[in-house]
Amino acid sequence: MDRPPSTRSDIYGHRARIGYTCPPLSAEVFPYEFYKLVPAGVTLVITTLTVIERSQSEVDAAYEMSMRAARELAAAGVNLVFFGGVPINLSRGDQNAQAMLRTLASELGVKVSSSVAAQAKAAKVLGCKKVVVAHPYGAHENARLTADAERYGCEVVGVMGCGKVIKDFGRIPVTAALDMGRALMRAHPQADAIFFPSPHWPVIEAIEALEQEFGVTVMAASQACVWDALRLVGVNDRIAGYGRLLREF
């Protein structure tokens, strides 16, 4: 049976406790942005995995670790277990990724979601069709991240990377996402949405500005993951300042 959000008023997470399996070994940006997005009374219960370079061996190990972490998070009484990392989510295939969420939810007695599931839901709700993708990695990741957007039902008309590796994400300027979004929209004005994959680089401050400047929808991985987690645990606050997704849905 799903565990309802806590009714206790004497704990930080008195509205909801979100358990998160975080792929990067060192996590900085997503926890910071999480607390900028969520209302008071919602907390992040985080366990970091072993990903440093995102090699295949690291991804395989992280998948197994995330399964163990999910059970420990559920034992700690979280209201939702959320699996981070699209490559880890999909490392055993699309069908397994979907079945795993259902199986674990039944086993653990809590709601379960993932980064890939959250972004697919968000893209559908927002009606994204023709998108540009701005990401923190080098150009060698363009094809993978294009395929992710296509998996969410979108046509990718432009893609741009920041040229960084995971260990440097915390040093990406907060203006980078805004600058990249602007450059992509000027190059591809036919786009109706901007995607920012990966919740581990600074993005959320660019969302509202880009939506207002270009009249498009912006979906950031961090924003989509938080939105999905909040709605699944029954926290339905409409949150202003970070795009249509959290404000309207």
The H-assigned helical ranges of the chain are: 29-37, 56-75, 86-89, 94-108, 115-126, 142-151, 176-187, 204-214, 221-232, 244-248
Q: For the segment 106-128, what is each residue's pLDDT rounded down to a tens digit? A: 999 999 999 999 999 999 999 99
Between 53 and 216, whose confidence is greater?
216
Q: For the segment 21-67, what is each residue's pLDDT rounded down to a tens digit? A: 998 888 999 999 999 999 999 999 999 887 666 677 777 777 888 88
Rounded Cα distance, 203 and 133, in Å:
13
Domain 119-223 matching CATH 3.40.50.12500: the answer reads: yes
Q: At what angle do helices 115-126 and 94-108 cross, to 10 degrees?
A: 110
Tell me what pLDDT residue 93 has. 67
Rounded Cα distance, 193 and 242, in Å:
15
Report the DSSP beta bridge partners of residue 48. 22
Tell me what pLDDT residue 115 has. 93
Q: In the predicted model, is pLDDT for residue 219 greater than 60?
A: yes
Residues in the chain: 249
Between 38 and 6, whose confidence is greater?
38
Domain boundaries defined on the chain: 119-223
For the full predicted model, state whether its pTM sits above 0.85.
Answer: yes
Q: From residue 19, how far is each of 176, 225, 246 by CA, in Å?
A: 29, 12, 20
3-state secondary structure of 82: strand
Query: Minimum mean pLDDT among 5-14, 123-132, 153-162, 188-197: which range?
Result: 5-14
